[in-house]
């Protein structure tokens, strides 16, 4: 059952928070920046926050928990995820016992009475996925979570997990430069009234227009491990960014604002959770809400990134 579209204060523009406390994933993060970012989002009318245990192994959830104390909890949609098991060197664990314990510990770190969306962050190799979701259904019936999500599950895994129809939301990688999900999972999700939330909507910053065609990355740069930042693919994506920049001129909008406006107009996308490192990036991204793409420009972008 769809959760987001039925939520009264739902605003399609949310915030991804892997750079809030995600010290294990990214260098040079400051907790104060993360706190300021979340505050800026909530002060700007964002109601959906997307976090996970894996972002700082609980730190992101703790920081968000601190910030939301000053806001009306009932207006917020807090989404978190678990699968990385500290007792198994952070290997994925979807066992019912682990997932239920993860819900309880996330409630403590966030310091809330319930979590809106609880995602299984990644599938593990051994757990029966139907049983994993049934464990979350029990947490839902106990009032500890309000919606059940899956992340990084392929179509067969989603089908196995959703045998009882308990899955509400799927979060997966998707952007203008990686539209695979349209072909693989979307038909099933639509048929079963499961909402889709894309991650990496800005292709990890590539769609912002801040990268140049002559730029190179050393082995120390995280970009050197991401195929989108390599060779011909990198050049093709930047050519696409030029198209977004051209279309953006008529709207006085940057490439990322145009890309975000395209997702906002796309009815198959339930919510947006672009990440940001600092509040200024969030404010820049939020300007996408002022961009209403014409149908013609929407189609032009669709065709350019097919
Ligand atoms: N379910 C999962 O497995 C999964 C996986 C990944 C992410 N996620 C979620 O999805 C969210 C979005 O993904 P993401 O944050 O990794 O990628 P993204 O949204 O594609 O890119 C966000 C990054 O782009 C840069 N950026 C954003 N706005 C900018 C602006 N206006 N100007 C310049 N640079 C800007 C920032 O990085 P720099 O400043 O460092 O360049 C920011 O951290 C995450 O925050 C997380 O909540 C979920």
- Eight-state DSSP code of residue 170: E
Residue 262 Cβ inside 6 Å of ligand 1? The answer reads: no
**Can you spell out the DSSP letters for 11-75?**
-SB-EE-TTSS-TTTSSS--HHHHHHHHHHHHHTT--EEE--TTTTTTHHHHHHHHHHTTS-GGG
For residue 76, the SS3 value is: coil
Query: Two tokens at 108?
Result: 């403590």
Contact (CB, 8 A) for 172 and 152: yes
Residue 169 Cβ inside 6 Å of ligand 1? The answer reads: no
Q: Ligand 1, residue 119: give the atom nearest the CA.
A: 1
Distance, C-alpha 271 to centroid of its chain: 8
Q: Return d(Cα 121, Cα 211) in angstroms, integer.
A: 30
Report CA dihedral (5, 6, 7, 10) to the nearest 10 degrees.
20
Distance 256 CA to ligand 1 centre (A): 12
pLDDT at 276: 98
pLDDT at 8: 84
pLDDT at 217: 92
- CA distances, 168 to each of 119, 196, 267 (Å): 10, 9, 17
- Eight-state DSSP code of residue 154: -
Catalytic residue ranges: 55
Q: Return d(Cα 242, Cα 255) in angstroms, integer.
A: 8
Stretch (H or E) spanning 169: strand 169-173
Distance 281 CA to ligand 1 centre (A): 10
Q: Return d(Cα 42, Cα 243) in angstroms, integer.
A: 32
pLDDT at 155: 98
Cβ neighbour number for residue 199 with a 10 Å cutoff: 19
Question: How does pLDDT run along the chain (306 residues), one tens digit per residue?
Answer: 789 999 988 889 999 999 999 999 999 999 999 999 999 999 999 999 999 999 999 999 999 999 999 999 999 999 999 999 999 999 999 999 999 999 999 999 999 999 999 999 999 999 999 999 999 999 999 999 999 999 999 999 999 999 999 999 999 999 999 999 999 999 999 999 999 999 999 999 999 999 999 999 999 889 999 999 999 999 999 999 999 999 999 999 999 999 999 999 999 999 999 999 999 999 999 999 999 999 999 999 999 998
Sign of CA dihedral 39, 44, 45, 51: negative
Q: Which of 52, 56, 205 to mutate to test the pocket of ligand 1 (most atoms within 8 A of CB)?
A: 205
- Residues in Cβ contact with 266 at an 8 Å cutoff, skipping those fewer than 6 apart: none
For residue 13, the SS3 value is: strand
pLDDT at 9: 83
CATH class (in words) of the domain with range 4-203+266-278: alpha beta
Residue 297 Cβ inside 6 Å of ligand 1? The answer reads: no
pLDDT at 202: 98
pTM: 0.97
pLDDT at 51: 99
pLDDT at 259: 98
Q: Ligand 1, residue 206: give the atom nearest the CA.
A: 24
Residue 276 Cβ inside 6 Å of ligand 1? The answer reads: yes
Distance 268 CA to ligand 1 centre (A): 20
- Eight-state DSSP code of residue 148: E
How is the chain split into domains, by residue range? 4-203+266-278
Distance 205 CA to ligand 1 centre (A): 7
Q: Return d(Cα 17, Cα 24) in angstroms, integer.
A: 13
Residue 16 Cβ inside 6 Å of ligand 1? The answer reads: yes
Residue 172 Cβ inside 6 Å of ligand 1? The answer reads: no
Residue 162 Cβ inside 6 Å of ligand 1? The answer reads: no
pLDDT at 78: 98
**Can you spell out the DSSP letters for 110-141?**
HT-S-EEEEEE-S--SSS-HHHHHHHHHHHHH
Q: Ligand 1, residue 210: give the atom nearest the CA.
A: 33
């Amino acid at each position: 059952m769809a959760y987001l579209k039925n939520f009264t204060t739902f605003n399609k523009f949310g915030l991804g928070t892997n750079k809030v406390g995600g010290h294990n994933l990214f260098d040079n993060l400051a907790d104060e920046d993360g706190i300021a970012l979340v505050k800026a989002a909530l002060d700007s009318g964002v109601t959906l926050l997307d976090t996970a245990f894996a972002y700082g192994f609980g730190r992101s959830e703790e920081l968000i928990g601190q910030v939301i104390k000053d806001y009306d909890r009932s207006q917020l949609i807090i989404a978190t995820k678990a699968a990385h098991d500290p007792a198994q060197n952070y290997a994925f664990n979807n066992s019912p016992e682990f997932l239920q314990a993860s819900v309880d510990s996330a409630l403590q770190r966030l310091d809330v009475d319930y979590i809106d969306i609880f995602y299984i962050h990644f599938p593990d190799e051994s757990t029966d996925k139907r049983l994993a979701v049934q464990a979350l259904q029990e947490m839902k019936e106990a009032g500890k979570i309000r919606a059940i999500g899956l992340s990084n599950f392929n179509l067969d895994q989603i089908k196995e997990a959703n045998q009882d129809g308990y899955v509400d939301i799927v979060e997966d990688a998707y952007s203008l430069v990686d539209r695979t999900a349209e072909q693989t999972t979307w038909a099933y999700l639509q048929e079963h009234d499961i909402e889709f939330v894309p991650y990496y909507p800005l292709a990890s910053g590539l769609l912002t227009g801040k990268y140049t065609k002559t730029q190179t990355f050393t082995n120390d740069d995280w970009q050197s491990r991401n195929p989108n930042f390599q060779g011909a693919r990198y050049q093709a994506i930047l050519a696409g960014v030029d198209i977004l920049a051209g279309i953006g001129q008529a709207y006085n909008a940057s490439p990322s604002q145009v890309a975000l406006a395209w997702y906002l107009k796309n009815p198959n996308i339930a919510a947006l959770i672009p990440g940001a490192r600092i509040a200024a990036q969030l404010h820049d991204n939020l300007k996408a809400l002022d961009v209403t793409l014409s149908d013609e420009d929407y189609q032009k972008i669709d065709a350019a990134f097919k």
